[in-house]
Amino acid sequence: MSEQATIKYIQAPLTAETIKDLHAGDVVRISGYIYTARDAAHKRLYEALGRGEKLPLDLKDNVIYYVGPTPAKPGEVVGSAGPTTSGRMDKYTPTMIEQGMRGMIGKGLRSQEVIDACAKYGAVYFVAVGGAAAVIAKSIKSETMIAYEDLGPEAIRRYEVKDFPAIVCIDAEGNDFYKVGIAKYSKE
């Protein structure tokens, strides 16, 4: 039962057309620009929206990577840059999706509210392999500080990525690979 996965090469920012062609379980390579943000940055973004303030980045069609990179060694763009647990952002994510965010990259399960927001607004959740931080870091070609520099590794950065490896976990129809993947292989 060794199926060879077809890799889909996609460009970020994401378009509605790209999103429609992605399905739970698809293996992707992302190139283009993505942004980083973790818990503390999400909290600030959420609170800024609550106060009616302009955000330091336009979320429309963009992808947020849940990462807190380690410092770069000489000659490298970033240090270790593996995904963090996505569930910590679940409180804020539906609001970010409503603002036009098209994609998220992290690891682990998401709440039903996040799944519902993906289906309602046309967004996807990608998983990156935890423990592959050094491999992932090689796909990051440049880094630009965007906001909240005082948060250190949790600041918002823009990464230029080339062939960033990920898997579509939740697609824009609300299909969750953690559920459909298990169901596929549990059938006798």
Could you give the residue numbers annotated as active site?
Answer: 42
Say if residues 156 and 146 touch (Cβ distance below 8 Å): yes
The answer to whether the Cα torsion of 72, 131, 94, 125 is positive or negative is positive
Which residues are within 8 A (CB) of 16 and not within 5 positions of it... i.e. 6 or more apart? 122
Query: What amino acid is encoded at 183 in this protein?
Result: A
Cα–Cα distance, 88 to 37 (Å, whole number): 11
